[in-house]
Structure 1
């Protein structure tokens, strides 16, 4: 491995911080769990440490897939329940009731509605979606079938009471079993592990654990220790664009309003950069920054992004910080640092009215100006909770108005509009997985959470016909959850066509 070659672990350790934020956990929780898992693997003499390493580090890769549904079921403070959910033993009546006591908290009389929804619906479908999407994203990262399988089994239990398949004992991948023990050790400590051995957790792995495995975590450089623990360190031959695209999907799954946003911005920004003759290296940095520009969104509760009315002061403060959060996540890796600096500028404006830095014209490179224009145009052409999507022509008028007012760069705006003119919605393209045009329409609605009845009304067909379409779509694309359908649609650009 060359001296300056990037290590995959270095890139993924940096990006794993976004998983921690999405789970409302402290930064480096995933890294700590990964380090403990590799130490456990050494004690157990497990040969495939690489799968354990990545399956633990990326354990929550599918966690954005269900935030929209969680908001509906659990209430506006759903994000705050995630740390509690992660340490709740679902087979314990006492722990399950304690979790239920927090559902809908702070919503007054509406709390009974959220509790009733949660009790009626349960969380099996949500958990299955998390596993399915995590596995699909791991496959995109090229981490191998073992890691994808381990993530798909992420929520199985030793006693067979888990999901998505109800596997038990050694039927569960060893990497999944080790990752669960390591993660719980970091969250709740060794004493609780002993109580859960033989039920939630593999008793043999719990027996191999003692607190010496976590005793030094507050004293050492956990980041460096986790990099040093990477089995057979190797430089990544994976296209950095593909890694960035995978995490763009991870971010955009957070809300149906965001589906395809990051990839759409990247397409516009890259083509605009070509039209403006940016150097290839700067164009590549811009393209990757566009894919990752909204990584900080995961730190903001979905209730904020989906608020139908004006943002409250506290909400707005969180929104203003999401570019900063993206920069802090990406800057942890020297390879991603140039991308971090650019990504953080996507809401800045030439007149200093942007955020979070209030940077002005002279501080904004051409690439930063392109990114701001592309982000603005793409957002205008998508539905938002407080408005419907603007037509391409309407969005063009609005973004040109921003340029005339001195907030966006006129030359960059024109380049973005030229790029968008080559992507007129409705043009015919080859369709993936043999899907028909009507099935594409159904897939878009399905991915956004529409029921069969909703789809039937929207497309003016019978409910039975809608159900028939949905069954065929799931069969053709090889997924079984709404979140999986949404990820498939984003991967094939079906929200940006």
Structure 2
């Protein structure tokens, strides 16, 4: 039997999970990326691409939106509702990039948002162990045929063919769904030689009706993926998915890892066998998948939510549970994860499940998630001390809102809450001051706020931030956070 802390899972299941989270964050149906990946595979094959190139293009299509949790805070600043803002951009009937058109009056937003998204997408590819060509494509997702794209203004043959193919497939799926087949073809024709090469667009237009009919007649085709053979026997760490989920809200940096560690320790103390401990640990890592469907402005709201906002929050664990339909070996974990906000007295969501219908793993997860949240600062309050958080959770358990045994296992005999790092940190990589500043900026603090907290000048903070970025080989806060978390520096 594998060790209980083994978080290695099939690589393709993590890629599919990232696609699911990306579709939620983009305001798209949760089968959008799988459908686009299938169409991409057909397009690559019809274009005479090699088997390896076909697989690469499909992987790019599945991971196209993997970086969108990284720039959610910036999208929220620009659009208010980051999810609806992205959805509106993708729906724009423009002859060029709807992303560029939709941000035209917002300064350098197109470039800065693209840079964050692409840098994180490329880093994800690197951490998943994908090849250099796939990583390069994901670092240039918003480049275009005419050179007006981002982040580097590549044009023509400089842009990876996989980027063009994924873009075409995504446009076909979205425009056909929203505006019908004829209008979808017209829009793709208008974008040819602007966003993608004419010859590729012509291949899509020649086969689009056939491909869409095949998908509509048998939706399971989008699950059939030539990547299965290419990625067979390849695994990756599930922590990368947890870290990408947490990027959406800076103040949740490291949250999923901490919940997973606490939940597993409590399960061990309660006598659950190793298989159940491992399932719970993995479920805790992914329990925030559905959070991507809810705008940041809702999560950042202090106090009581409006009823419409509350309904969106209630659906977050529902979407986590729905992920089980798409992510293969993680289906059982996704089901457990969907209980993260249920309460034994029936006051939780989304099921309003009561004790008899509430698996013990779900009860432990719910209590662990609440305890980590209480111990951490939020935009509207300071963190509670360990003692205060424990007392509050015990009081809630006494009132029937959490499992009392689970709470006691979490609070009375706490074990290490340090999240397992997927890589051994290099002790000398960052200085202590650099790590301290990185911790603050990873939680969303501006340079000015960090300067005030540490009683140093903003210019000193800026110098340290530049040094951190240089040492971590990145240029954005989100990428630095993701890399530092993977290295165990946060």
Residues 406-415 or 52-61, more deviating = 406-415
Task: Check whether the contact 2:10–2:234 (CA below 8 A) recurs between aligned residues.
Answer: no
The 8 Å contact of residues 442 and 477 in structure 2, kept in 1 or not, is answered as yes
Structure 1: how far apart are the matches of 2:228 and 2:283? 29
RMSD (Å), alpha carbons: 2.7
For the residue of structure 2 that corresponds to 1:140, the secondary structure is: helix
Describe the shift of the 1:120–1:212 C-alpha distance in structure 2 as closer, same or farther (beyond 3 A): closer
Give the alignment partner of residue 44 of structure 2, picking from 41, 45, 51.
Answer: 41
Q: 1:320 to 1:456 in 2, by over 3 A?
A: same
Distance 1:332 1:14 in 2: 8
Question: Are residue 209 (structure 1) and residue 209 (structure 2) matched?
Answer: no
1:306 aligns with one of 300, 305, 309: 300
Q: Distance in 2 between matches of 1:419 and 1:193?
A: 61
**Contact residue 156 and residue 164 of structure 1 kept, 8 A:** yes
- The change in CA–CA distance for 1:365 and 1:78 in structure 2 (over 3 A counts) is closer
User: Is the 1:129–1:483 contact (alpha carbons within 8 Å) kept by the matching residues of 2?
Assistant: yes
CA shift for structure 1 position 234: 4.7
User: For 1:139, which of 102, 120, 126 is the aligned residue?
Assistant: 126
Q: In the TM superposition, what is the alpha-carbon distance from 1:468 to its structure 2 partner?
A: 1.1
Summarize the alignment of residues 205-244 of structure 1 with structure 2, pairs less than 5 Å apart. 205-213=200-208, 214-217=211-214, 219-230=216-227, 232=229, 234-239=231-236, 242=237, 244=238
Deviation of 1:229 after TM superposition, in Å, equals 4.2
Q: Which moved more, 1:207-216 or 1:394-403?
A: 207-216
Q: Give the corresponding residue for 2:27.
A: 24
1:316 paired residue among 294, 310, 313: 310
Q: Does 1:353 align with 2:350?
A: no
Deviation of residue 477 (structure 1)?
0.9
Decide whether the 8 Å contact of 1:190 with 1:211 is kept in 2: no
In 2, Cα distance between equivalents of 1:96 and 1:293: 30
Q: The residue matched to 1:317 in structure 2 has which SS? A: helix
2:62 & 2:134 partners in 1: Cα distance?
11
Deviation, structure 1 residue 469? 0.4
**Within 1, Cα distance between the matches of 2:412 and 2:153?**
52
Aligned partners of 1:272 and 1:370 also within 8 Å: yes
The correspondence for 2:253, drawn from 259, 267, 281, is: 259
CA change 1:125–1:449 in 2 (3 A) is: farther
Instruction: Find the partner of 1:184 among 164, 168, 171.
Output: 171
SS in 2 for 1:472: helix
| SS of 1:387 mapped into structure 2 | coil
SS in 2 for 1:335: helix
* Conservation of the 8 A alpha-carbon contact between 1:155 and 1:163: yes
Q: Report the Cα offset of residue 87 of structure 1.
A: 5.3
| 1:102-140 Cα distance to aligned partner (Å, 9 max, x none) | xxxxxxxxxxxxx9xx62343311110000111112222
The whole-number CA distance in structure 2 between the counterparts of 1:96 and 1:12 is 24
C-alpha distance in 2 between matches for 1:455 and 1:91:
43
Kindly indicate whether residue 453 of structure 2 is the aligned counterpart of residue 476 of structure 1: no
CA 1:402–1:432 in 2, change beyond 3 Å: closer, same or farther? Answer: farther
Deviations 1:168-226 (A, max 9, x none): 11112221121112212222322222222222212232232225333315523233344
How many Å apart are 1:92 and its aligned residue? 5.4
Aligned pair partner of 1:63 in 64, 68, 80: 68
Q: Cα offset for 1:29?
A: 1.1
| Contact in 1 for aligned 2:40/2:165 (Cα 8 Å) | yes
In the TM superposition, residue 352 of structure 1 has moved relative to its aligned partner by 2.1
**Contact 1:193/1:201 (<8 A) preserved:** no
Distance 2:13 2:415 in 1: 38
Name the CA shift for 1:31/1:424 in 2 (closer, same or farther; >3 Å).
closer
Q: Describe the superposition over 1:208-260 as per-residue Cα deviations: whole angstroms up to 9, x where unpaired.
A: 22253333155232333441544735534314xx1x32221221111112221
- Kindly tell me the number of residue pairs found equivalent between the two proteins: 466
Provide the C-alpha distance between the structure 1 equivalents of 2:87 and 2:416, rounded to a whole number of angstroms: 44
Is there any run of 5+ residues in structure 2 with no aligned partner, and where?
Answer: 1-8, 176-183
Q: SS at 1:304's partner residue?
A: helix
Q: Which runs of 4+ in 1 moved over 6 A?
A: 95-98
Contact 2:12 2:228 in 1 (8 A): no
For the structure 1 residues 68 and 360, does the alpha-carbon distance in structure 2 shift closer, same or farther, using more than 3 Å as the test? same
Structure 1 residues 53 and 349, CA gap change in structure 2 (3 angstroms): same
| Counterparts in 2 of 1:447 and 1:11: CA distance versus 1, 3 Å | closer
SS in 2 for 1:440: helix
Which range moved further: 476-485 or 137-146?
137-146
- Alignment pair present for 1:391 and 2:385: yes
Unpaired segments ≥5 residues, structure 1: 1-5, 101-114
State how far apart, in whole Å, the 2-side matches of 1:87 and 1:341 are.
32
Pairs within 5 Å for 1:165-180: 165-180=152-167
Distance 2:206 2:371 in 1: 52
Between 41-50 and 410-419, report the one with greater CA deviation: 410-419
| Cα separation, partners in 2 of 1:432 and 1:63, compared to 1, 3 Å | farther
